[in-house]
Amino acid sequence: MKLQKIVSRLQKLHPKEIDLSLDRILNLCKKLDNPQDKIKAISVVGTNGKYSTIQAMYAILKEAGINCNIYTSPHIKKINERFIFNNEELSDNELSNLLEQVEKANDNQPITFFEILTAAYFYKSAEYPNNINLIETGLFHRFDATNILKQNLASVVTSIGLDHLDWLPKNEQTIEKIIFEKTSKLLNSNIIVAKQSSNKTSRQIETTIKNNKSNKLFFSKDYNYLVNQNNFFYYEDITGRIKLPRPNVNGQFQLENISTAIATLRVVKEFNINDEHIKNGITKIKSIARLQEIFEGKLKDLLRENRLLVDGSHNPLGAKVLNDYLESLNCNKHIIIGMMANKNHQEYMSYFKEITSLTTIDIPNQPNSIGGQDLSNKLIGFKNVQYKKNIFEAIKSIPVKKNDLVLITGSLYLAGEVLNLN
């Protein structure tokens, strides 16, 4: 209850959810003695794959005995997920105390919720100067609150695509503009660029960062992976090739994220990561709402022997890689979907092929979501579309047969609600 009250207060400090500027967080961090200048960090920017890449790095670093702090957003089930210090999530009391300290330093000055959370993360992370900070950037990078570091160990550029266009002027809602916002102000250290959805995007990233003096690694040019059918895959870079077991996460895209994580950790020499750290680490990756399979709980009980997956993808790029995974499975696929109002609903769904049924639902506790009935009306091009009020009714209504799969997707907010209900 105390934590909820503090969060509610912090959300009212600025009239806007997002106000792209660095002034407010710089002023607050100055009051906190600039904690961001006292940490070792890897920055992760991009549209998709940031969370998964961070979790892969985290798993490998833990195997190497290296303690980490992690900052990600948004949270899925509870806000504490955003604050990992010394390999542990902060408790409610710890987070309440941290936010109160930073709230006091802010002295009721206007600041967005994300900015004050970011300042709180930096403030706490300075208590662990030897830990490695894995920091996910927010909406865009250039004016994102996380972009006040003066130096870092590396910058990872995950897959970049069209998303959050409503925060850009109409005449600037292009992939070129998004690439500029995310990569033009990367620090001078190491830059690792993940696999992109097109050669055009890769070339544009390369052009944007060409004057950056960092050591640069590009997927397929400097590192890569090869899939083997016998339950393993190969990773290779200029250092050599490693035979690796299949990771404990679903989807081909996870091999791309894991390869980027490996490339990053191998290029930072002070980590001294060896092959065994990598082999063991990638079988212990924690992944919430990223093709997460539900094995038990209230919702799983409704499906019994059928597979139930939850995935928070919400943009066309996410839909594409999600459908690639679905097409690799020889079974009927039933999708339950809820989305935020500002997404391109029809384009998102256009990537899914051979869907047996499609059920739209409302996302509870999200006033900025599109109603399930309205979403159903927009997806008239799909056969077997129905609307149900909630996730329980949706699952009960699907006529699953043996080996059928049910996937819940369309929003990280929906994923969080579903996991909490389960």
Write the DSSP assignment of 237-298 as a string of letters: ETTEEEEEEPPSS-SHHHHHHHHHHHHHHHHSGGG---HHHHHHHTTS---SSSSEEP-SSH
DSSP 3-state assignment of 114?
helix
Provide the pLDDT confidence category of residue 155 given band limits of 50, 70 and 90. Answer: very high
Same fold, 2-281 and 292-421: no
pLDDT for 165? 59
The answer to whether the bond into 74 is cis (omega within 30° of 0) is yes
The CATH topology of domain 292-421 is Protein-Tyrosine Phosphatase; Chain A (3.90.190)
Domain boundaries defined on the chain: 2-281, 292-421
pLDDT for 164? 63
Q: Architecture of 2-281 per CATH?
A: 3-Layer(aba) Sandwich (3.40)
Taking the whole predicted model, whether its pTM rises above 0.85 is answered as: yes
For helices 50-63 and 252-267, angle between their N-to-C axes, nearest 10 degrees: 50
pLDDT for 225? 97
Indicate left, alpha or beta for 54 from its phi (over 0: left) and psi (-120 to 50: alpha): alpha
Dihedral angle over CA of 308, 310, 315, 318, nearest 10: -70
HEC per residue, 385-411: EEEECCHHHHHHHCCCCCCCEEEEECC
162 pLDDT above the threshold of 80: no
Over the stretch 221-262, which tens digit does the pLDDT of each residue have? Answer: 999 999 987 889 999 999 999 999 999 999 989 999 999 999
Provide the pLDDT confidence category of residue 163 given band limits of 50, 70 and 90. Answer: low
Over the stretch 35-54, which tens digit does the pLDDT of each residue have? Answer: 999 999 999 999 999 999 99
Over the stretch 309-361, which tens digit does the pLDDT of each residue have? Answer: 999 999 898 999 999 999 999 999 999 999 999 898 999 999 998 899 999 99
402 pLDDT above the threshold of 90: yes
